[in-house]
Copies of this chain bind each other. A is one copy, B any other.
Amino acid sequence: MTRKIPVVEEITKANDEIAAINRTRLDEAGVVALNLMASPGAGKTSLIERTVPRLAENLRVGVVGGDIATTLDAERAADAGAIAVQITTGGACHLDAPMVRNALAQLPLEELDVLVVENVGNLICPASFALGTHANVLVASVPEGDDKPFKHPRIYRGVDVLVINKIDLLPYVDFDMRRFHEGVRALNEELATFELSCRTGDGVEPWVEWVRQRVGACATAARGAS
């Protein structure tokens, strides 16, 4: 049984308003933004390291890294070829729209095509806070177990894309891909899904192609609107 707590509603309402401002800012600059969410260690930063160099072949890529205590992730994103800004949350368990607004102010948005926002590693709290990004991406990983959709339904319901990372570990863990997909489909039938391994590179290409198409579709829509 969940109680609705007025204070929490006010916080999320204020957050949503700033998320809408962030979205407008991104749209005006012609930047498509992705909100990358996952458990700690599922491979958000590794996915960025695999994805950024491929995107950077013909797109200009920015990364906002959300982290509790370090700038390790932003350094890895910058090494991969992105313009990177780190948000250190100082203990907070999720990014929120005001934090992203501050990060956007530090980026040369007019010079970017795509922005990847790496949320804090947490399957729960990030699902409640819109950032103003265009798509929510969830990175699951094979060793986490095939029961995660059943146990974290809210985040699985709220995402547009699911990346299943670490498929190279499938032979070594008890992970039933069919059970996992059944759990996912029960929550989010339309979810685009990519199985890949950031370690080996297997399966990365279709995911990169999805991002490219998403950026292309938005650019076309923006040209049509202007």
A residues adjacent to B (C-beta < 8 A): 1-2, 7, 39-41, 67-70, 72, 90-91, 93, 120-125, 141, 143-145, 147-148, 150-154, 166, 168-169, 172-174, 199
Contact = CB atoms under 8 A, between A and B. Distances in A.
A122 B143 contact: no
Contact of A174 (B125, B173, B199): B199
Contacts of A1: 90
A40 B151 contact: yes
8 contacts: A1-B90, A40-B148, A68-B153, A72-B147, A122-B124, A143-B166, A143-B169, A169-B172
List the 7 shortest-distance A-B pairs measured between CB atoms, nearest first.
A41-B144, A2-B90, A93-B124, A143-B143, A41-B145, A39-B40, A40-B123
A168 B143 CA distance: 12
A151 B121 contact: yes
A173 B151 contact: no
A151 B123 CA distance: 16
Main secondary structure of the interface of A (DSSP, over half): loop
Contacts of A68: 124, 151-154
Contacts of A147: 72
A212 to B, nearest CB: 28
A23 B199 CA distance: 45
A84 to B, nearest CB: 16
Contacts of A39: 39-41, 121, 144
